[in-house]
Structure 1
C-alpha cells in the first residue's frame, strides 16, 4: 500500500485526509514515481473547491507538481529508466502529496544532481508559470517588468528571471515580503491602496510587461501602466483579455528551460517552509491564506 493525501468531497479543507491506496501502476507512456517532494500551489485549493470543474472521480489525490525517483516504466517510454531522478507535473488527480504517483513521461524532465528534490518539486507548476509569463513578449535588457504578487513562489521566480535577462523589475507585494522581493534585485513597491501611483513614480513612461499573479482590482489598476495593452499577462484572472492583454501561454519546453536556469545557480526557488506528508493539510493551509512567502513544499520519506 501507498499513502496519498486526498479530498473526499468538493468544498473546504474539512474534506482532506491521508489515505492508503494500492501502489498505482503506470500505463503506456507513464512513469511511476517514488515521490521525494511535492510543491504546494494555490491551484491545489482551487481544484478542491471545484473551481476547475467537479467531474473528477472521488477521492482526488492532491498536489500538482512533484520530484522523485522512477520506480516503474510504462510501455513505450523511452529516455527514462528505473532509478532515474525526475520532476514533472502530476495530472488527473493522481496526487503529488503521496508516497507514489503517476506522471506522463513526455512531461517529465531529468533532475540535475545540482538541484535538490525539494527545489525541483517547485518547478513543474510554479517554475514553468514564471517562465511562461516572463516570456509573454520579448524584452531587451534595461526594459521594465512589473510583477504583481512578487512575494509568492511564482513572483519571486519571475523577478529572478528578470534579473537573468537584465530587466528592471518592479515587484509589488505586502510590506512583510519587502526583504525577500528586494533579494531578487527587484525594486519593491508595497501593495495596497495607491500602489499604481507608486509604480508610476518609478516608471513614468510606463512598463514594458505587467506580470499578474493576483487578478481582480489589482490587475485592473495595473493594466494601464503597460505601454501597450498586449503587454499585460495574467495567470490569475481571465478578465485580462477584456483589458487587451492575455492569459499565460504554455511553452512545452518551459520545464527543461527553467530547470536549467536553477541548475546553473541563476534562480533560487526560495522554499521557505517544508512539511512532512502527514502534515500536508498544514502546508495547504499556509498557501491557501494567500500570505505565504516563497514556496511551500511537502517532503516525503
Structure 2
C-alpha cells in the first residue's frame, strides 16, 4: 500500500478553501465551544447537588468532537496538499454525530419504560438496545477503516468494497437516527398519561416533543448524507449541486448545533432525569434511595439470621 492518495471523486462539501471554509468553521468552533461549556457547567452543578445526568457530559464530548472536526477542516484548507489532515477531518465529521443518535435513543427508551414498564424493562428490549449500541460501535469502526484504506490504495476492487461498506454505514446510521421517531410517536399515542410512571420534570407532551424535534433534525442530516453517498460518484473537478459547501455545513453541522441548543434550553438534564439505581430496581419511582436502603437492611438481617443459625447448629453438634 502506498499513499495516501488525494481523493478523485466529489465529496460533500468539496475541498476546503481559506476564503469560504475558514471563517465558517471558526464561527462553528466558537458556537460549539460556548454550548459545550454550558453543558459542562450544568453537569458539574448537578453533580455538586447529587443530581447525576451523564448525557450532559456526553453532549459536552460531542461539542468537543465537532470543534476538532472544524479545526481539522481549517488546517486542511490551509494545507490542501496534506492528505493525512484530510483523512482526519473526514473521520471526525463522520463519527461525532453518533453521540446525539444514542442520546435521543436513550431518551426514547426512558419514555417507553415509563409508559409500558412490562415491555420497556423486558430483557428482549434491553438486550435489543445493547445489540444496537454494539452495532453502532462496530459500524463506525468499519466506516473509519474504509475511509483510511480508500486513501492508501489505488486498487479499484478495494475501492468498490470500501464504497459498499460506506453505503452500509450511512444507511444504517440513517435508520438509527430514525428509530426514536416511531417509538416515541407510538408511546405518546397509546400510553395512558394517568398511569405513566413519573420521572424528571415537565409534561409528557413536552418530553415527546423534544425527542421528536431532535430526532427529525438528526434524521434529516443522516438521510441527506446517506442519499448523497448513494448517488453515482462524480469527478472531483465536477461536483454536483447537492455536494455544495452550503449543504455540507447545514446538514453536517448546523442541524447538530440546533439539536445541542434544544437539549440546552429544553433542560433535558431535568426533563429526562431518572434516579440512580433505577435500572436495577426496574422502575423510576423517586423513593429509590429509601428502597435501596431498605433492601440493604433486609440483606444485612438475612446475613445475621444465617450466622445465628449456623452458630446454633455448631453448638448442638458439640
TM-score (norm 2): 0.25
Higher strand fraction: Structure 1 or Structure 2? 1
Looking at both structures, which has the greater relative contact order when contacts are Cα pairs under 8 Å and sequence separation is at least 6?
A: 2
Bigger Cα Rg: 2
